[in-house]
Amino acid sequence: MFGKRPLLFVAFIAAAVIIPLGYKLRTHGFSAREKPMAIEVWLAEHARDLATPSAVKALVNPIQPTPMILAGARDHYADHCATCHGNKGDGKTMYGDGMFPPPPDLRAELLRLLAEGQLTPEQAIQLAQILESGALGETGGTAEARLGAPSPDAASETAPAATATDGAVTEASFDATASESYRAAFTALAAHPDAQVRLAVAQMSQSSTRDAAMETLWTYANDHPDDPLRDEIYLLCGSVGEANNNPLGQRALEQATSLRSRDPAVWRMLSRSYQRANRSGEAQAAAQVSEGVEAQNAGDTAQAEAQLQQALPQLTAPQLRAPVASELGQIAEARGDFSAASARFSQAYTAREEVAQAAPDSAAAGVIQADAQQLVRALDRSGRTREACERLRQAQEQHDVAAPDEELLQRCQRQFRTNLRNDVQLAPQLRQRAIQVRPEVTPAPTP
């Protein structure tokens, strides 16, 4: 009797499968349009898993991901995979919709493998670049842009003019800028030391998890003001958010202006964001700032100053006025006009104080020490050292600002009896930016 039990069990399983299938065939016949029964789903999913031997699952890819190999992978995907899996890897195609099991969402598979540790951040970057338009939506326009990210050189060669005839950024220019900004930020953040950040970055490529991932990154950036990759987080949220009509994108770009004030891409994308929000004056001003900082980076300070001066009155938000005023101060400082520089740095510092009072952890508040130190140095070099010492004392009391150098600190303490802490530390934003003074310009003497 005991030996018959396995046979009875097999007969029971066979009946459980054959009877429902027989009933369905008799009543509905064969049709690819019919929704599969639960037993069909179970059998199909397990058959697909069983079709891959365990030894094969454990194999390691022996091919190194060189640029040539990745280019060939993109071509192979376009020719042999995209028909069913789609250009973005989501499986949403005419052929894929009629298949069962349906083509898996490759973006979800990427997230799973990354979370399980089966992919390194570098491998995740390479795969995500092939499916890049999943994060940027369909803004790329062409099949090439959807299938894989163009090289930065190719993007710069083919990118259209930065602005339209009315001063606003064109859609085509935004697409090229967002694509390049997304690629650079993704590459930097995929190797972030915090696993939460790495996972959220990967989730940006999937529409079902994108908004939640953006909120995660936004919250992390606001809670970690000292993170050296904070600017990349805002840039990633800004490019992806704006490309997908998420309001958080504009807020992220506004934050990025304080951390990447000389990055034309930040201002260009912000211009497009304001344009879509029907804020035409600010859109034109942001486009002018983009052109201005681009000219400044190229050494054309006269053109840069003209553009920035035109843009500043149109920018109403203090977090946007501050970086523009600071850039104008640096231009004046570079030509030795310390009176004009101190006036601009005072504008920037006042605007930063306004932002810091409303949002102490914002990106603008995080660079207030740089504005204070620039103001103090410009006042000193314009011959107003007593005023410089007093402004430094106020900045120390209100914002814990350190003195920019030991020599100025000693003069303030000994010559003007200013009550200052013995704290000397140049702001990080100023450490790599030496002030160049023309030889013929001599600062006014200290009173």
With 70 as the cut, is the pLDDT of residue 331 above it?
yes
**Residue 237, CA distances (Å) to 52, 140, 164, 232, 394 in order:** 38, 17, 25, 9, 35
Side chain identity at 329, as an amino acid letter? G
Q: Is 244 helix (H, G, I), strand (E, B) or coil?
A: coil
Residue whose structure tokens are 């843009």: 311
DSSP 22-76: HHHHHHH---TTSPPPHHHHHHHHHHHHHTS-HHHHT----S---HHHHHHHHHH
Mean pLDDT of the residues in the chain: 79
349: part of which helix (H) or strand (E)? helix 338-358
pLDDT by residue (tens digit) across 246-271?
Answer: 999 999 999 999 999 999 999 999 99
Neighbours of 259 (CB within 10 A): 21
- CA neighbor of 183 nearest in space, from 237, 236, 230: 236
The alpha carbon torsion through 36, 38, 42, 44 (nearest 10 deg) reads: -10
Q: How much is the pLDDT for 156?
A: 38
311 Cβ contact partners less than 8 Å away, ≥ 6 residues apart:
285, 286, 288, 289, 292, 324
378 Cβ contact partners less than 8 Å away, ≥ 6 residues apart:
329, 333, 338, 341, 342, 345
β-pair partners for 424: 403
d(CA 311, CA 321): 9
Residues 129 and 73 sit within 8 Å (Cβ to Cβ): no
What average pLDDT does range 185-197 have in this prediction? 85
- Residue 91 gets the label, from left (phi > 0), alpha (psi -120 to 50) or beta, of left
pLDDT by residue (tens digit) across 55-72?
Answer: 776 777 677 767 666 667
Whether omega for the bond prior to residue 101 falls within 30 degrees of 0, making it cis, is yes
Per-residue confidence band for 94, with pLDDT thresholds at 50, 70 and 90: confident
d(CA 380, CA 371): 14
Per-residue confidence band for 76, with pLDDT thresholds at 50, 70 and 90: confident
Q: How much is the pLDDT for 405?
A: 92
Torsion angles phi and psi, residue 36, rounded to 5: -65, 150
- CA neighbor of 345 nearest in space, from 359, 327, 366: 327
Give the residue extent of every domain in the chain.
Answer: 70-316, 319-447
Alpha helix segments (H runs only) across 161-228 = 171-189, 195-203, 207-223
d(CA 116, CA 154): 35
- CA neighbor of 330 nearest in space, from 435, 440, 408, 441: 435
189 Cβ contact partners less than 8 Å away, ≥ 6 residues apart:
197, 198, 201, 229, 232, 233, 236
Residues 250 and 266 sit within 8 Å (Cβ to Cβ): no
pLDDT by residue (tens digit) across 97-120?
Answer: 667 667 777 766 766 676 666 667
The alpha carbon torsion through 350, 352, 353, 357 (nearest 10 deg) reads: 150
